[in-house]
Structure 1
Amino acid sequence: MLQILGITAPIFILIAIGFGSSRARLVSREQIAGMGTFVITFALPALVLKALIERPLGEVFNGTYLLAYGLASQAVFWLGFLYSRRIRKDSLSGSALNALGMSVSNSGFIGYPIVAMVVGPTGAVALALGMMVENLLMIPLALALAELGRQSGEGLRGALIGTFRRLLRHPIILAISLGLLLSLFEVRLPAMLGKVVEMLAMASAPVALFVIGGSLDGLRARGLLADVAQLGLGKLILHPLAVLLCFALLPAVDPALRTAAVLFACAPMMSIFPILGQRYGLEGRCAAALVVCTVLSFLTISVFVGLLR
């Protein structure tokens, strides 16, 4: 448990630094928003591109793993989406963001260090497979629905066309498309350009966490409890259970890969979740859910590690 705390503690420290800086007025709301724009426009696309081109797709391809993890993530996504949309009467964009928070993990910064401690080198293969599901399926789906929610006042045809055009210009979608193309043809970036991409990718986590802390300053918890409860239950309990169930129903895979998949699903939502929410005016909800889920994940991950062992 102390090892898990050693992984999660730096996250809380960076969030606290962002919160304290905003509270002390060392940075303004406009500067916080500007840093969020930097992450979503440059740093996060670089991180996605780097993850996709580091290994050829055929090198780590495991059909059963992709199917099990993808089906489980889709099941939790649509459960969260329909609950938000039909039961809680949330907006289309809000429902899409809630569903994304319930079904996509912070695989790189929380999930992988924990998985590597438990299963060793197999964790790197599981990380690459999980990133395929998240970057090629889950994130584009959520962004498409969220963008569709911004096309209010238009007919269905106009809304779909507008959504498609906006997605074509979305930095993350562009990075996924370029990364997939380069990976398929096993093209490597020139050393100088690769270094630029690596530097931008390294900036995504600390800046995103700083922005989360700054977004929490002045946040009112009233009205957010239902969202936070839904996201916490979905991400920390339903997602890992769904992954465990899908692996049990499909043909057997390496037990280490199965363990890695469940532990990746145990991780809280990705650290740029509030940055994605900022585009739709939902950064407060997303930041609150991220902080709560990251704190609680210390307990839920420990429980699942014990059960899987």
Structure 2
Amino acid sequence: MLDILAITGPIFIVIAIGFAAVRSGLFAKADTRALGAFVINIALPAVLFKALSQRSFGEVMNPTHLAAYAIGSLAAFGVGVMVMRVLRRQPMPKAAIVGMGMAMSNSAFIGFPVALQLFGQAAAVGLALALIVENLILLPLVIALAESSGDNGAKLGRVVAQTFARLLKNPIVLAILAGFGASLLGLRPPLMLAKAIDMLALASAPVALFVIGGALVGQKVGGMMADLGLIAAGKLVLHPLAVLTMFWLLPPVDPVLQMAGVLFASAPMATVYPIIGQKYGQDGMCSAALVVTTVASFVTLSVVVGVLRASAPIAAG
């Protein structure tokens, strides 16, 4: 048990430090947003480019892994949408946002720091594959469904096209494409540039965790327990189980990538969740779900790490 807490404990200690720093006024919440922008736009792209460009294309582009993670994530998303639409008779925008909370992980800010301790730099390959699914499949689907009701229905095609156009300007997507390109062509950056990329990559995990803590300050929970229970159970239990089931059903993949996929699916939802929910009047529910699921993930992630460590020898580093 102590060896498991030695992995997950530091993650949540840094989150707690970020929370305390903002709560005490040492940092303003706007400061953490700037740090988050640094992680998303600079440090994390450096991690992804480094990991992908240093491996052969065949090693990093794993269609079976992508299929398992995508189908498992879509299954969790579909359950959320169906429960909200069929059983609870909620409008499609809210159903789509609930489905997003159950299926789109905080792969970059929480999943990756944990996976990095378990799998070393191989975690970045799993992260890139997870981000492909989240950014190129799940996010456009969420926005398309949320925009498909009422007067916006006629604009569905334009919404999808605009979403993909924005994604193609996203530094994370650009880093993944550049990394795959360098891997396919066998290109390596010059030594000086490679060292700069290494320095930026090292900053990604701790700064990301600090940002998570700051983002939780001021979020309130209350009056939405049915929605919160559904989202938390879907994200922390159903999503990883669905991804694990697909890894069992599909042809075998690298065991490290398989375990990384399950771990990324076990992370709570992305910190942009309340921001996207705000557009559809669901920012209160999304903010509360982010708090509940992130806190609960201290227990659930520890359980997942324990199971992964028991199922196969994992070398940290």
TM-score, normalised via structure 2 length? 0.75
Decide whether aligned partners of structure 1 residues 199 and 295 sit closer, same or farther in structure 2, where only a CA change above 3 A counts: farther
Identify unmatched segments of 5+ residues in structure 2: none
Decide whether aligned partners of structure 1 residues 276 and 54 sit closer, same or farther in structure 2, where only a CA change above 3 A counts: farther
Secondary structure, counterpart of 1:136 in structure 2? helix
Match of 1:101 in 2: 104
Does the aligned pair in 1 maintain the 2:112–2:205 contact within 8 Å?
A: no
Amino acid across the alignment from 1:98: G
Q: Equivalences for 1:33-48 in 2 at 5 Å?
A: 33-48=33-48
Deviation at 1:131, TM superposition (A): 3.7
Q: Does 1:135 align with 2:118?
A: no
Match of 1:180 in 2: 180
Q: Which range is displaced more, 189-198 or 296-305?
A: 296-305
CA distance in 2, matches of 1:47, 1:224: 37
Match of 2:258 in 1: 261
Does the aligned pair in 2 maintain the 1:49–1:178 contact within 8 Å?
A: yes
Deviation at 1:62, TM superposition (A): 5.8
Does the aligned pair in 1 maintain the 2:80–2:95 contact within 8 Å?
A: no
CA distance in 2, matches of 1:32, 1:129: 27
Match of 1:296 in 2: 300
CA-atom RMSD in angstroms: 3.7
Deviation at 1:265, TM superposition (A): 0.9
Match of 2:117 in 1: 113
Q: Equivalences for 1:33-182 in 2 at 5 Å?
A: 33-59=33-59, 64-80=64-80, 82-83=82-83, 87=88, 89=91, 90-91=93-94, 94-95=97-98, 97-101=100-104, 107-114=111-118, 116=119, 127=123, 130-131=126-127, 133-145=129-141, 148=144, 155-182=155-182
Match of 1:238 in 2: 238
CA distance in 2, matches of 1:198, 1:82: 44
Deviation at 1:63, TM superposition (A): 5.7
Deviation at 1:99, TM superposition (A): 4.2
CA distance in 1, matches of 2:44, 2:147: 22
Decide whether aligned partners of structure 1 residues 286 and 28 sit closer, same or farther in structure 2, where only a CA change above 3 A counts: same
Identity of aligned residues (%): 35
Deviation at 1:5, TM superposition (A): 0.3
Does the aligned pair in 2 maintain the 1:212–1:287 contact within 8 Å?
A: no
Amino acid across the alignment from 1:265: V
Aligned residues between the structures: 298
